Amino acid sequence: MIHINITDLWLSNYLCLLDVLAASQNNSNSGWETKAVEFFQDQLKERDTHTLVPSLNDVPLHYLKPNSLVKFRCLIQDMFDPEFYMGVYETVDPSTKTKMLRCGKYKDVTECGVDFNSRNTVTAERQTFYCVPIPGENPWVKEISSSCLTEARVVPSTSYAPSRQKRSYEEDDDMDTQPQKQREPHAGPHSPSEHHGNGDCKRQETEAPSSQTASASHLDLNFPLPGEKGPSCLVKVYEDWDRFKLNDTLEVYGILSVSPALSALADEKDASSSLLDPAESMETAEEQRVHSPPASLVPRLHMLHAKPLPHNNPLLPSIPVLDKESTLTVVILSSTLSEMASVREEILSYFTHVLLGDALAAEYLILHLISNVYSRRDVLPLGKFTLNLSGCPTVASYTERFYQIIQQLVPSSHYLAMSLQNMNQMRLVPKKDYVANRLVSGALQLARNTSLFLDETQLEQGQLDTTGVRNVTALGNLISWQKVDYDFNYHQMEFPCNINVLIASEGRSLLPSDCQIHLQPQVAPSHLEESLSSIHMHPQASSQLNKFRIYLSMARLLDYSISDEVTKSVEDDFVDMRKDDPQSISAEDLHRMLVVARLLSLSLGQTSLSRDSWLRAKHIEMLRRSRMEQHKCVNGNEP
Amino acid sequence: MSCFDQPPILHVQPNEVDMSSPLMYGTPSSRVEGTPRSGVRGTPARQRPDLGSVRKAPQVDLHSDTDGAVASEPNAGQRLVIWGTDVNVGTCKEKFQRFLQRFTDPNSTEDENAGLDLNEPLYMQKLEEISVVGDPVLNVNCRHVQSFDAELYRQLICYPQEVIPTFDMAVNELFFERFPDSILEYQIQVRPYNALKTRNMRSLNPEDIDQLITISGMVIRTSQLIPEMQEGFFQCQVCAYSTRVEVDRGRIAEPAVCRNCNNTHSLALVHNRSVFSDKQMIKVQESPEDMPAGQTPHTTVVYAHNDLVDKVQPGDRVNITGIYRAVPMRVNPRQNNVKSVYKTHIDAIHFRKTDEKRLHGLDEEAEQKLFTEDRVQTLKELAAKPDVYERLSSALAPSIYEHEDIKKGILLQLFGGTRKDFSQTGRGNFRAEVNILLCGDPGTSKSQLLQYVYNLVPRGQYTSGKGSSAVGLTAYVMKDPETRQLVLQTGALVLSDNGICCIDEFDKMSDNTRSVLHEVMEQQTLSIAKAGIICQLNARTAVLAAANPVESQWNPKKTTIENIQLPHTLLSRFDLIFLMLDPQDEAYDRRLAHHLVSLYYQSEEQMEEEFLDMAVLKDYIAYARTYISPRLSEEASQALIEAYVDMRKIGSGRGMVSAYPRQLESLIRLAEAHAKVRFSEKVESIDVEEAKRLHREALKQSATDPRTGFVDISILTTGMSATARKRKEEVAQALKKLIQAKGKTPAMKYQQLLDDLRGQSETAITKELFDEALRALADEDYLTVTGKTVRLLA
């Protein structure tokens, strides 16, 4: 009897894995499991096999076969307590009294007839992570990554045929000695649709699993951002869980488990009297709901392998660029590097158009979009580049349109309107709920390199209440230190983050920023409306867009260094500038100029700072500063 | 646990079968019938649900297996053990009695042992205490057991469920032998604590199941009291025959047939004759210090039984000793199918609050960080280096360039002075903490320094003057929504007791908030009178504050007070006030540029080589704070006296006071801190020298009178330099003369008057100066100013 049913036909090249699994089922000491996992990981590395695995992000849950291999692109939202499970246990057949050793790994529910007194029981430990889809992931990312997948599925004989799926599902049930399971109401509200929809499954399967979230409304799935959709998942981790951190983005490969028995637990809870069963009374109803939600809504995923994602741009290979040995990366690198300068020109002109003809602001926008906290020196995050774009027109919902354009270019982003109401009511900082024993998410729990667009033009005069003040403080901390202090009620805990914050405001923002630039539209106010409406009209071929998308993600991943020679000249420059006018440049200005120079070099595809880039960085900084002073004189009330 | 489902003992001496086998311990039969020994008779044993509420499994079919195993044992007479363990009841009991009778700990520092004669057997004294007080609980420090008998200790850790009842028996026998006449409510229970296997929650793993462990953590939630049935009382509805059924693995099996009248299903449970025990669920969360960065804290469920119920409240930091349990979860009672997950919890045997005395005195226990010998050795080697002071100060916030003296000041603040207690002479505690204020231009990395310090010290708090209210700094009273209980929530200052409170944007704080600091910064206490709660909390916190000048740039022509507009009463409470200004010289610029550029291109490893590790620095500070408390040497006191006299002398020449006792206290604190840096128990003259130097440097920066160029302490103590005060008086007098010279005009134009005065005076009269002079005269009731008119008063 095969226990781990990753026997799908399209996974035929993994059959040897299964053989290993099945053959050594009764011999727990043979180390079959490490071998199998290793084999599996090798397979993933070698070829593009990972595209064959269906993704939980794209395929609705009810199309996936229980106990099959799936992948999930996600963010670790919360970490639950480690749990002990029966790694190996013995079952006794009630009729024949034969004993059999079984493996409990990668499973939620044991076979029936467990012998609790067996001396062969091995208790093992695993960790549960609550994972949600990457917050703020933009629609184009979802589209592209799911289309990659369907292409892969068309490969003959590995294609995923839903009509087959049903039959195998039944087979599964036949094998199951617990027919009750099937009749369990929690087989999910989707089972009928599965039967009806067999014919048009092919068409539906790429759709987002929206039907699930509809029925999930009563259950808070704890997404960091409001209005998010998609499945969340309880990922069971079997080894090395210490290497994962909260808010890490991963691609998890694992075995899907949607056993209805898991949800039965939650239902029964309400009815059973806890007095007689004290072991079960230690969890409150809320906690139960959170930690064992119905499997049809929050499936369990038993991790075989996890790949940390350095970015979530589906257009780039997900292999870390640092891994220089991978030939694929080198090819892409060299070809893109040479192109980068030209793409930069295109994107610059595009942004100039978007920013109403302001080329300097467009330049800074590029730098901002490729910025990244690449290191931390004691408390100081290096490489962050928060941009404050002041002087945004308030007409014709310019900021919103502007955000839509950014949304088209970066893999994940979030628009936060800083209206008084939002600031006073929104939960930005995640907070620990001790009753339900979970971390209630907030809008600032974001994956690395998410673009956070703060629209300050929405802010009007009025009173900020306690929550509002706290939220503004949290945003300030985020910008200055790239960290968020999560609220644990009795204490606060600091979580470092790496979020690109862009503040659009009318005057100077009330939040701190690394760099402020005042927008100077080259369009006459009378034509503003017209010009604005043309922005969106601008036909951008999707190939063009893709080029931009690759460019922005690529530039961020490049290595960077400064040679001793250039160091020297930078130092000389600084000393000279100070000599002329000590007020003109402070240590902070030098900090900023070094960041600007870094980002400028990277945006040009150069991996080390050249004299030219330094001068260019100095030049644009000077332009920006002179513009600021000019603006100061006009306004008078600028600090 | 029950004797029916498990026959753990294969052999015991016949006369002991009834009372001394642990399987009988705590069963109703022993409770009802008492025990055969004379002294113990009449004292009921109390059940210990903490030990046996959940047995892992009944080992029914193993009976035969073990029989064989024991038979093969060569000297069966002595080697017989409780099944599944290597515990021999007789030996174990004997050993424990020997431990109780002989163990002494002459070097004990535990507060619980206060008042006991340390050279006498410790636990015998405790038994005596029990006989007097009548509280039948004996707390046993596992460390003592270990040092006395390592084997016994091992057994205690591995088989607590079997060994602790044995200990109970042993102690009761011993007790009633000694004190045959004492009357106890129930038999003495042994509560071991401080199992050396102390772990943090994260390191618990399946191997620890059913073992004795000690973990530390913070209580986050406690449940209501759960009455747990220990024994059900059933009565037959037909014949009134009654029977008792004991709890078996969390369940009570209702008897289906009455044994008396053979009617089926006639028995009914009689609740108020059943036996219940108290039980409480407590959720404990890992202490924030134990957690690796980037992970969320783990929680563990703890069950408290009987008198341990309601011993702890949410928010308490506790050390819990107990038995780690894992129970399989049933998916459905009707199904045999089991979720393959165990539920884990800890049955608490002993609680020890670690922050119990936080409100009263110094909490030595919690402060005591365990240092390995290697670590101590490294630290001592480091301390022996002649340049340790410079090394440490440069290791502080390496990303911030230069400002050596400021870093040194902060370093001394991190170490702090020596705590002295003068409460007997009526002055109370002397402040040992050093307070520092940084002021200077915006963008001179003040906030960064604060952030660094906040991250470095274990009990640091970081607040911003803009965002904090007086309540947030001190404490507030909250009504718990569930219990309707009033709870005192402490704010930043109280939380950073024994730590450092970093306050950014000190100048932006409201006056109301700032006034709270007056008490904290000198008396080191915080008085609260709110919603019926009146109390004084300790806030022995060092304050590290940063302030920006009122005009966005520092005006070198003004004094510190004028620049930052803080009340001088508050300023004088800072030991050191530093200015963080841009030094404008080429060599500095070059070094700064080099530093910054290298920050951006050097790899992290390179940077780390250059500087001391932050972890070493942390340990160094923690070690010095805990173990070193320097005292003034004769020589150092002389040096301090001289320094103070010198400081006074400087001013006396110009008719100013240039030093106050407060400055002397500052000097002492700084000198002590410097001695701590050297790991020296004695403050020597080099410490005083450095304290003097640093103090002078800080004064030079902050208390230099911009008009004269002299250091003038009165700028900080009275808010105005002596020359400025003199000048103000002069102008006021000149103005008065001018007005008098004008004759009998009752009202004058403001501008006119100013121009006249300007024309008359040799020195420049600023508008501010003029206003001040007017105000001075108004104070004398000589004139009043209304709008632009100045009126003379009669």
Is the pLDDT reported for residue A41 higher than 70? Answer: no
Whether the predicted pLDDT of B176 surpasses 50 = yes
Inform me whether the pLDDT recorded for B586 exceeds 70. Answer: yes
**B224: which chain A residues are within 8 Å (Cβ-Cβ)?**
none
Lowest mean pLDDT among A391-405, B252-266, B623-637, B705-719: B705-719
Give percent of chain B with pLDDT exceeding 70.
68
Give the best-scoring range by mean pLDDT among A17-26, A99-108, A282-291, B112-121: A99-108
Give residue B78's pLDDT.
47
Beta strands B461-464 and B500-504 are: parallel
Structure tokens at A49: 């096999």
Q: Domain for residue A160, yes or no?
A: yes
- Annotate B763-782 with b (16+ C-beta within 10 A) or e (fewer): eebeeebbebbbebbeeeeb
For residues B348 and B301, the answer to whether their CB atoms sit within 8 Å is no
Indicate the average pLDDT of chain A: 73
Residue of B340, B584, B597 with shortest CB distance to A567: B597
- Spell out where B441-485 has E strands: 461-464, 475-479
Does residue B584 sit at the A interface (CB-CB below 8 Å)? yes
* pLDDT for the residue A452: 92
Q: Cβ distance A488 to A437 under 8 Å?
A: no
- For the cut 50, the answer to whether the pLDDT of residue B47 exceeds it is yes
3-class SS at B27? coil
More confident residue, B684 or B117: B684
Q: Is the pLDDT of residue A104 over 70?
A: yes
Q: What angle do CA B675, B677, B680 make, to 5 degrees?
A: 45
pLDDT reported for residue B25: 39
Residue of A77, A238, A374, A491 to mutate for B, most B C-beta atoms under 10 A: A491
- The CA distance from A495 to the nearest CA of chain B, in Å, is 6
The distance of Cα A395 from the centroid of its chain, to the nearest Å, equals 33
What's the total number of domains in chain A? 2
Q: B333 touching A, CB under 8 A?
A: yes
Q: What are phi and psi of A484, to 5 degrees?
A: -125, 130
Written as one string, the DSSP assignment of A517-575 is EE----S-HHHHHHHHHHHHHS---HHHHHHHHHHHHHHHH---B--HHHHHHHHHHHH
* pLDDT at site B196: 67
Residue A586 belongs to some domain of the structure: no
CA B508 to chain A, closest CA, distance in angstroms equals 14
CA distance linking residue A593 with residue A385, whole number of Å: 11
In-domain check, residue A345 = yes
Residues A287 and A212 in one domain: yes
CB contact under 8 A, A439 and B296: yes
- State the DSSP code for B34: -
The answer to whether residue A565 is domain-embedded is: no
Which of chain A's residues have a Cβ under 8 Å away from the Cβ of B326? 84, 123
Residues A374, A280 within the same domain:
no
Q: Say if residue A281 is in the same domain as residue A334.
A: no
Counting every residue, how long is chain B?
794
Residues A364, A272 share a domain: no
Q: Which two tokens stand for residue B679?
A: 């790991």
Q: Which DSSP letter does residue A26 get?
A: T
- Tell me which residue of B659, B631, B655 sits closest to B644, measured CA to CA: B659
Tell me how close the Cα of A464 comes to any Cα of chain B, in angstroms: 12
Amino acid at A108: D
Tell me which chain A residues have a C-beta less than 8 angstroms from the C-beta of B340.
85-86, 89, 104, 107-110
The rounded distance, in Å, linking the Cα atoms of A495 and A487 is 11
Any domain includes A369? yes
**Predicted local confidence at residue A501, as pLDDT:** 92
B interface mutation test: which of A465, A481, A575, A577 has the most B CBs within 10 A? A575
pLDDT one-digit tens code per residue, A198-257: 333 333 333 334 333 333 445 677 888 887 777 888 999 988 888 888 888 888 888 888
Please report the pLDDT score of residue B463 as a whole number: 76
Radius of gyration of chain A (CA): 28
Same domain, A9 and A117: yes
Query: Could you give the residue ranges of the DSSP H alpha helices within A410-499?
Result: 420-425, 466-481
The pLDDT value recorded for residue A186 is 40
What is the chain B residue with the closest CA to A432?
A: B296
What is the complex's ipTM, to 2 decimals? 0.72
Residue A204 has a pLDDT of 38
Q: Domain end: A533, A559, A585, which one?
A: A559
Residues A302-328: tens digit of each pLDDT: 888 888 888 787 777 655 444 444 444
pLDDT tens-digit readout, B341-395? 788 888 888 888 765 444 333 344 444 445 667 777 777 877 777 777 877 777 7
Q: What is the dihedral of CA B403, B404, B409, B413, to 10 degrees?
A: 100
- pLDDT bracket for residue B775 (50, 70, 90): confident
Query: Cα separation of B576 and B407, whole Å?
Result: 12
In chain A, what residues touch B441 (CB-CB under 8 Å)?
586
Q: Does B599 reach chain A within 8 Å, measured CB to CB?
A: yes
Q: How far apart are CA B159 and CA B550, in angstroms?
A: 68
Side chain identity, residue B84: G
A550 and A402 together in one domain? yes
- Identify the domain containing residue A402 by its residue range: 327-559
A602, part of any domain: no
SS3 helix, strand, coil % of chain B, rounded to 5? 40, 20, 35
How confident is the model over B67-98, as pLDDT tens digits? 433 333 344 444 566 666 677 788 888 888 88
The DSSP symbol for B301 reads E
A597 belongs to a structural domain: no
Residue A47 sits in the same domain as residue A91: yes
**pLDDT surpasses 70 at B417:** yes
Cβ distance B229 to A275 less than 8 Å, yes or no, reads yes
Query: Cβ–Cβ of A594/B283 closer than 8 Å?
Result: no
The pLDDT value recorded for residue B649 is 74
B301 touches chain A (CB under 8 A): yes
Nearest to A382 among B279, B455, B600 (CB): B600
- B222-231 pLDDT, tens digit per residue, is 877 888 888 8
Residue-averaged pLDDT of chain B: 72
**Chain A residue at shortest CA distance from B58:** A117
> Which residues in chain A touch residue B590, judged by CB atoms under 8 angstroms apart?
571, 574-575
B549 vs B207: CA distance, rounded Å: 60
- Give pLDDT, residue A332: 59
Instruction: Tell me whether B700 touches chain A (CB under 8 Å).
Output: no
Q: Which of B686, B460, B660 minimizes the C-alpha distance to B575?
A: B660
Which range among A68-77, A229-238, B416-425 shows the weakest confidence by mean pLDDT?
B416-425
Helices marked H in A2-112 — which ranges? Answer: 15-23, 32-46
Mean pLDDT for B223-249 is: 81
Residues of chain B in contact with residue A481, where contact means CB-CB under 8 angstroms, are 451
**Which one of B297, B315, B443 has the shortest CB-CB distance to A588?**
B443
CA–CA separation, A388 and B492 (whole Å): 32
**pLDDT reading at A274 higher than 80:** no
From the list B332, B333, B344, the residue with the least C-alpha distance to A263 is B332
Q: Give Cβ neighbours of residue B300 (< 8 Å, ≥ 6 apart).
A: A81, B201, B204, B215, B217, B283, B284, B285, B344, B345, B346
Comparing CA positions, the residue from B415, B456, B781 lying closest to residue B623 is B415
Residues A379, A301 within the same domain: no
The string of pLDDT tens digits covering residues B135-150 is 788 888 888 888 888 8
**Percent of chain A scored above 70 by pLDDT?**
69
State yes or no: pLDDT of B572 exceeds 60. yes
- pLDDT (average), residues A45-53: 64
Compare CB distances from A265 to B54, B252, B339 and report the shortest one's residue: B339
A281, A308, A335 — which closes off a domain?
A308
User: What is the tens place of the pLDDT at every residue in A374-411?
Assistant: 887 777 888 889 999 888 887 767 888 888 888 888 89
Contact B340 A108 (CB under 8 A): yes
Spatial separation of the C-alpha atoms in residues B672 and B678, rounded to whole Å: 10
Q: Judge whether residue A281 has pLDDT over 70.
A: no
Which of B61-70, B239-248, B484-493 shows the highest mean pLDDT? B239-248
Measured between CB atoms, does B332 come within 8 Å of chain A? yes
Q: Do A379 and B448 touch (CB under 8 A)?
A: yes
Verify that A128 and A269 share a domain, yes or no.
yes
A366 and A284 share one domain: no
**Nearest residue in A to B585, CA atom:** A579
Q: What is the CATH number of the domain that holds A404?
A: 3.40.50.300
Residues 6 or more apart whose Cβ sits within 8 Å of residue B273: B233, B242
Give the whole-angstrom CA distance, residue A418 versus residue A462.
12
CA of A13 vs chain B CAs: smallest distance (Å):
30
Q: Which of A86, A111, A377 has its CB closest to that of B599?
A: A377
Band of residue B41 on the pLDDT scale cut at 50, 70, 90: low
Other beta carbons within 10 Å of B317 = 20
Smallest CA–CA separation between A277 and chain B, in Å?
6
DSSP H/E element including A381 = strand A380-382
Would you call A339 helix, strand, or coil by DSSP?
Answer: helix
Give me the pLDDT at residue B355, please: 55
Mutate to test the interface with A, among B296, B316, B584 (most CBs of A within 10 A): B296
Nearest-CB residue to B338 (from A110, A473, A586): A110
Tell me which chain B residue has its CA closest to the CA of residue A574: B593
What sign results for the dihedral spanned by CA atoms A555, A560, A566, A570?
Answer: positive
Q: Is B218 on the interface with A (CB under 8 A)?
A: yes
Residues A541 and A437 reside in one and the same domain: yes
Contacts of B588 (CB under 8 A, 6+ apart): B402
**For A77, which residue in chain B has the nearest alpha carbon?**
B296
Choose one of A559, A586, A607: the last residue of a domain.
Answer: A559
Q: Choosing among B285, B597, B612, B618, which should be mutated to test the A contact, i.e. which has the most A CBs within 10 A?
A: B597
**For B321-339, what is the mean pLDDT?**
67
Question: What percentage of chain B carries pLDDT values higher than 90?
Answer: 0
CB B301 within 8 A of CB A437: no
The answer to whether the CB of A203 falls within 8 A of the CB of A197 is no
CA distances for A337 relative to A334, A364, A554, angstroms: 5, 20, 9
Asked if B299 and A437 come within 8 Å (Cβ–Cβ), the reply is: yes
On chain A, the residues whose CB falls within 8 A of the CB of B332 are: 261, 264-265, 268
Q: Does B64 touch chain A (CB under 8 A)?
A: no
A452 part of a folded domain: yes
For residues A146 and A215, state if they share a domain: yes
Q: Which long-range contacts link B17-26 to residues 24+ away (Cβ below 8 Å)?
A: B19/B169, B20/B89, B20/B93, B20/B169, B21/B89, B22/B82, B22/B89, B22/B162, B22/B165, B22/B166, B22/B169, B25/B165, B25/B168, B25/B169, B26/B1, B26/B51, B26/B52, B26/B165
Closest Cα of chain B to A358: distance in Å? 29
Beta bridge partner(s), residue A555 = none
Which range of A488-502, B488-502, B760-774 scores highest in mean pLDDT? It is A488-502
> How many CB atoms sit inside 10 A of residue A443's CB?
23
